[in-house]
Structures are given as C-alpha cells and as structure tokens.
Amino acid sequence: MSIPLGYNYVQPFKDITIRLPEPEAFALHKLIVSGRRGNPLKKIKDIETVRGLFEYFETQPGHITRLHQIYNDFNPGWKKKVDSAIAESNLHFPSV
C-alpha cells in the first residue's frame, strides 16, 4: 500500500477532502499485487484493470510521462516485479 499512499492527490467533495492514489501509481501497484495473488480470478481482474488504465494513458501523454516518472522512482525490486507482471500478462508498457 505504500505506492498508492506515496503518490496521491487531494480531491474536494462537498464538505470533505478525499485523498486518492494517482492513476499511474494505482496501475503500477496493481501490477505488483497481481504477482502475489493466490486467487487466479483476482489476478486476472488486477491485470484487466491495468490493461484498461494503460489504454486510457495512451490517449493522454501526460499520464504516460507520469507513469514513467513513478516507475523510475521505484527501487530495483519493485521494477523487477512490475516488469515480470507485464511480461507474464502480455501487457504493453506505454512508451513516452
């Protein structure tokens, strides 16, 4: 959970303030979590969520840039887990 907590923004709603993870951080978090899932259905759901986010990011260059910024901030272990999940699930990591 440190990824969504470390990369977030504040969204006001009515009389409250909501802290939400940046969509790019959420996608990377889902990739890492997918590799730890014991339940294959949850793993598939995680990958499909990432696939949808990546498709959306491809229509918004700012999101791709941010995705790479966050990925580049990761330690080598997290990068390896993201890379493994992408390779295993046959996803295309959006390029800048």
- Per-residue confidence (pLDDT) for residue 96, from 0 to 100: 76
pLDDT tens-digit map of 33-45: 998 888 999 999 9
Contacts of 54 (CB under 8 A, 6+ apart): 27, 91, 92, 93, 94
Q: Structure tokens of 62? A: 């700012």
- Per-residue confidence (pLDDT) for residue 1, from 0 to 100: 61
What is the percent of the chain with per-residue pLDDT over 90, rounded to a whole number? 85
Instruction: Name the residue ranges covered by the structural domains of the chain.
Output: 2-89
- pLDDT (average), residues 44-73: 96
- Per-residue confidence (pLDDT) for residue 85, from 0 to 100: 95
Put simply, whether the predicted model's pTM sits higher than 0.85 gets the answer yes
Average pLDDT, the chain: 94
